[in-house]
Amino acid sequence: MPENRVLVWNRGIAIYFVHLPPRNDLSMSEEKSLNFIEEIVEADLAAGKYQSILTRFPPEPNGYLHIGHAKSICLNFGLAKKYGGKTNLRFDDTNPSTEETEYVESIKEDVKWLGFQWADELYASNYFEQLYQFAVQLIEKGLAYVDDSNSETIAQEKGTPTQAGIENSFRSRSISENLQLFSEMRSGKYKDGEKVLRAKIDMASSNMHMRDPIIYRIKHAHHHRTGDTWCIYPMYDFAHGQSDSIENITHSICTLEFIPHRPLYDWCIEQLGIFPSKQYEFARLNMTYTVMSKRKLLQLVNEKHVEGWDDPRMSTISAMRRRGYPAESIREFCDKIGVAKRENLIDVGLLEFCVRETLNKTALRRMVVFDPLKVVITNYPDTVEMLETENNPEDPNAGTRTMPFSREIYIERDDFMEIAPKKYFRLAPGQMVRLKSAYIIKCDEVIKDADGNITELKCSYIPESKSGSDTSGINVKGTLHWVSVAQALQAEIRLYDRLFKVEDVANAEGDFKDHINPDSLQVLPIAYAEPALLSDQPNSTYQFIRKGYFVLDRDSTNEKLVFNRTVTLKDGWAKEAKKA
């Protein structure tokens, strides 16, 4: 095992983190220690700093949420739940050119599906007037100025981390001139990029974000909520902290890349004398074989590498839902990975492990034959017998169903071998197997076409061997799944695999799209499924016996059911890794 990996055992199954997170992040034991944010919250509550806590989840509606966002959602809503507080859903919609209502709707759906309910649904755009007034207040205090420089000049004059920036002539504009110009910016007198409003802080600060950051820019663009009311928009750093403060957010949790923004967050709040929200940072979730930036996910969609945002291979929450991941498993995963203070890369196998854990307990067992070979049971009468079988041996409350059994059934083609090796316990000439929940059969004859392809098997059954009342005294080692031919439903099976071939996609050489796995989707156009699948609830999750976990896809029609593979029964990639 490479040095930067650590093995974690969970109920006998090995899971590994690719990079070792700090010790207390491996919250695998039953008794969990507090994460560092919980420690802060408990200290704040104990000191009486707040009566109760208020967190927020602040997505920018410029794409669908991904599993990284799920981590942030579970953290923010989880904290509030644990400490009796509340969480707002706030859309950070300050960039009109990339934001859309479609994204707002999908985000709400995903948060609800994950099992969380927000206190208030809010939008940074609700505060545009208030934010404008905040900017006016800064100007009045001599703490903001209108700069006519173009973006290249502003960037140049900012200096470098080792060299102080330059204070330009616009910096000494009078308060009244600044007020006049800012008001003209708002009224639409200037074109995009002609002027900006900057905070007047310190052009020599060691923190580049404090070197007179731009707080307002001109953008003549239609906003998905405010329409054409505004042609100036606040920058993230001038909108986020103030929005937190307006809502009385106590703990504003974001990812590590915002650490250098924190002094500016605090500066704005302090200069405006408003509610002192505080920012805390944790490491964003990175996962193997996956990309997670909305920009990259959008590229995959636009360039048709996938079918859409909810293509089951995507890392979005909607894709995982469509693929059949239970929300419970995603929450469990977010809980297991803990809250880290430094970047790490989490094995996607851990998420799949959580999915299997839930589905093993909840998925209905069904029989589906993917690659059919017809079996004729020559001594079975020409009738249909309904056999009773359990829906889930792990769940006594799941009940039973009946399955038609008849003279003609399908089994998997690869469950038969004409010349079988010694320890082959499936079907072979002269050999016996049990048909799951039915009878023991014996293969008597192999039928082939003119080209020598096997087209059918003739078998005989042992009438006394019926499952549950077997008096045959025959012991067989192999049990096969099967489907009765006459009642079989046609189904299309979509077998999904990882979308990328490399573990650390973000840091792999070249363009991330060079690493797309060309075999990430395999479609089996005609599989045969037992008839119970037609009457099950549409959202049921399944274990197709011996095949994996599956879910019905929305592309299903009355003529043809379509199933997505949620996850395999075992972790096939772990085996691959061992071989390598």
Residue nearest to ligand ATP (CB): 68
Output 235 or 491, the one with its CB closest to ligand ATP.
235
Q: Interacting stretch for ligand ATP, rule CB under 6 A, among 13-21, 183-191, 289-297, 492-500?
A: 289-297
Residue 146 dihedral angles phi and psi, to the nearest 5°: -85, 130
Catalytic residue among 198, 262, 284, 466: 284
List the single partner that 568 binds among ligand ATP, Mg ion, none, CB under 5 to 8 Å by kind.
none
Output 21 or 241, the one with its CB closest to Mg ion.
241
Buried b (16+ CB within 10 A) or exposed e, 276-286: ebbbbbbbbbb
Distance CA 289, CA 304 (A): 19
CB of 498 to ligand ATP, least distance (A): 18
Taking each helix axis from N to C end, the angle separating 327-337 and 67-82, rounded to the nearest 10 degrees, works out to: 80
Q: Which two tokens stand for residue 526?
A: 């005609």
Q: Interacting stretch for Mg ion, rule CB under 5 A, among 46-54, 56-64, 147-155, 238-246?
A: 56-64
Q: Interacting stretch for ligand ATP, rule CB under 6 A, among 56-64, 181-189, 268-276, 571-579?
A: 56-64
Contacts of 24 (CB under 8 A, 6+ apart): 33, 35, 338
Q: Interacting stretch for Mg ion, rule CB under 5 A, among 57-65, 311-319, 361-369, 554-562?
A: 57-65
- Three-state secondary structure string covering 269-299: HHHHCCCCCEEEEECCEEECCCCCCHHHHHH
To which H or E segment does residue 562 belong? strand 561-567
Output 243 or 484, the one with its CB closest to Mg ion.
243
Is 284 a known active-site residue? yes
Output 71 or 224, the one with its CB closest to ligand ATP.
71
Among 292, 340, 411, 545, binds ligand ATP (CB under 6 A): 292
The yes or no reply on residue 56 touching ligand ATP (CB under 6 A) is no
**Please, how many CA atoms are within 13 Å of residue 189, restricted to the half-sphere of its CB?**
10
The yes or no reply on residue 224 touching ligand ATP (CB under 6 A) is no
Site string for ligand ATP, 16-55 (x = CB under 6 A): ----------------------------------------
CA angle 103, 108, 111 (to 5 degrees): 120
Mode of pairing for the β-strands spanning 372-377 and 408-412? antiparallel
CA angle 152, 157, 159 (to 5 degrees): 115
Closest of 176, 124, 191 to residue 146, by C-alpha: 176
Is 38 a known active-site residue? no
Is 294 a known active-site residue? yes
The yes or no reply on residue 284 touching ligand ATP (CB under 6 A) is yes
Report DSSP state, residue 33. P
Residue numbers 59-78 binding ligand ATP by CB under 6 A: 59-60, 68-69, 71-72
Q: Is the dihedral of CA 568, 569, 572, 574 positive or negative?
A: positive
Among 27, 255, 271, 556, binds ligand ATP (CB under 6 A): 255
Distance CA 428, CA 438 (A): 19
Give the binding-site size for ligand ATP (rule: CB under 6 A): 15
List of residues contacting ligand ATP (CB under 6 A): 58-60, 68-69, 71-72, 92, 254-255, 284-285, 292-294
Active site residues: 60, 284, 294
List of residues contacting Mg ion (CB under 5 A): 60
